[in-house]
A and B are shown apart, each in its own frame.
Chain A
Amino acid sequence: MSTKASVQILPPAVKTSRKPFPWTTLIVLAILGFGAVLMIAPFLWIIQSAFGETREAFVLPPRWLPAHPTLKNFQDVFDQVPYHLFMFNSLKLAVLVTLGQLITCSMAAFAFARLQFPGKNILFFVLLSALMVPGQITIVPLFVMIRQLGLYNTHAALILPGLINPFGVFLLRQYFITIPTDLEDAARVDGANVFTIYLRIILPLSGPVLTTLAILTFVGVWNQYFFPLVVINEPKLQVITVGLTLLRGQFGAGALGTIAAALTMAIVPVLIVFLLLQKYIIKSIVSTGLKG
Chain B
Amino acid sequence: MTAPKYVGLENYQKIFSDVRIGNVYLTTIRLTAMIVPCNMTLGLALAVLLDRKMPTIIRNFFKVSYFFPFVVSGVAVSIIWTFLFHRDLGPINYYLGLIGFERIYWLNSSTYSPLAIVIADVWKNVGFYVLVFLGGMQAISRDFYESAEVDGATAWQQFRHITLPLLSPTILFLMVISVIGALQIFEQPQILTNGGPGDATRTIVMYIYEQGFRFFDMGYASAIAFTLFIIILVLTIIQFALSRRWVFYS
The residues of A with any CB-CB pair to B shorter than 8 Å are: 25, 28-29, 31-32, 35-36, 38-40, 42-43, 45-46, 58, 60-62, 132-134, 136-141, 143-144, 147, 219, 222-223, 225-226, 229-230, 240-242, 244-245, 248, 253, 256, 259-260, 263, 266-267, 270-271, 274-275, 278, 281-282, 285-287, 289-290, 292
Contact = CB atoms under 8 A, between A and B. Distances in A.
A191 B82 CA distance: 63
Contacts of A45: 84, 91
A245 B53 contact: no
B162 interface: no
A43 B212 CA distance: 35
Given A266-B73, A275-B64, A46 B83 contact: yes
A287 B173 CA distance: 12
A277 B131 CA distance: 16
Interface string B107-146: 0000000000000000100011001100110000000000
Contact of A58 (B52, B89, B212, B218): B89
B83 A281 contact: no
Interface stretch (B19-27, B32-40, B180-188, B241-249): B180-188
A39 B58 CA distance: 15
A163 B248 CA distance: 37
23 contacts: A25-B54, A32-B62, A35-B66, A36-B65, A36-B66, A40-B68, A43-B80, A46-B83, A136-B205, A139-B225, A140-B218, A226-B186, A226-B209, A240-B73, A241-B73, A245-B191, A259-B83, A263-B76, A263-B80, A266-B72, A286-B128, A286-B131, A289-B131
B89 A60 contact: yes
Contact of B68 (A136, A226, A271, A289): A271
* Chain A binding surface, main DSSP class: helix
A62 B128 contact: no
Interface of B: 1, 4, 46, 49-50, 52-54, 58, 60-76, 79-84, 86, 89, 91, 94, 123, 127-128, 131-132, 135-136, 170, 173-174, 177, 180, 184, 186-187, 191, 205, 208-209, 212-213, 218, 221-222, 225-226, 228-229, 232-233, 236
Contacts of A58: 86, 89
B128 A36 contact: no
Given A134-B229, A140-B218, A289-B132, A225 B65 contact: no
A240 B91 CA distance: 26
Per CB-CB distance, the 10 closest pairs between chain A and chain B, nearest first, are: A223-B73, A58-B89, A241-B75, A36-B65, A289-B132, A62-B91, A140-B222, A137-B225, A286-B131, A136-B184
A31 to B, nearest CB: 6
Contact of A36 (B61, B177, B205): B61
Contacts of A244: 75-76, 79
Contacts of B76: 241, 244, 263, 266-267
B208 A140 contact: yes
A31 B127 contact: no
A219 to B, nearest CB: 6
Contacts of B72: 223, 266-267, 270
B139 to A, nearest CB: 8
Nearest to B132: A289
Contact of A29 (B54, B136, B228): B54
Question: Which of A36, A39, A223, A274 has most chain B Cβ within 10 Å?
Answer: A39
